Amino acid sequence: MRNTVKVAVIYYSATGHVADIAREIAETAEKAGAEVRLRKVRELAPQGAIESNPAWAAHTAATAEIPVAEVEDVVWADAVVMGSPTRFGNVSAQLKQFLDTLGGAWRKGELADKIYSGFTSTGSPHGGNESTLLALMHSFHHFGGIVVAPGFTHPDKFVDGNPYGTAHHDAGGTAPVGDVTRNAARVQAERVVTIARAVTAVSSGSQ
């Protein structure tokens, strides 16, 4: 029976806030004993748009070494944790484009029965945090996935205040990811690994 849980943390981040949450989730999952792949999705914006924003350009350069997500990363994983900044209350075009590439795997049934969870960042406290996470979950349901939200299962989640997933607000780009968000990310990652481990144990035992 396989004991190792495989977790893919897949995200889009323009200026780094979502990337910081992704790293926190990935590191926590590794500490919990999971095998982790940290992946960013492909950038769609033109280079001129990136270079026009110093924070965007700096983040792009700083994360150049992180592999770009491929369909195989989702197929490989027992649990997939996806993150995106909000775009008018929805996921970014970059993450949506990646989701759209999963059609072939979906038709083969390769996305079903996995654990899925999500995280986000917005410019203001209620600037689309909840709606972005709920929109992301629509895809997870279509996959036939098992959606694992952190809920209010830990005292740190009452501080973070979002039961659907980890959600940061950056105050228009001026507030870095702090302890409240990091603690919430750890709670979410540990919950994902715990439940994924239980599901894979049952699945392995039934084969």
Q: Are strands 79-85 and 146-147 parallel, antiparallel or unpaired?
A: unpaired
Determine contact, residues 177/106, Cβ cutoff 8 Å.
no
User: Would you give the distance in Å from CA 22 to the centre of its chain?
Assistant: 6
Provide the H-helix boundaries in the chain.
17-31, 47-51, 54-62, 71-76, 93-100, 103-107, 129-143, 155-160, 179-205
Distances, alpha carbon 170 to alpha carbons 51, 127, 166, in Å: 21, 10, 13
Q: Is 161 left (phi over 0), alpha (psi -120 to 50) or beta?
A: left
Model pLDDT, residue 171: 83
pLDDT in tens, 26-58: 999 999 999 999 999 999 999 999 999 999 999
pLDDT in tens, 84-127: 999 999 999 999 999 999 999 999 999 999 999 999 999 888 78
pLDDT in tens, 174-203: 889 999 999 999 999 999 999 999 999 887
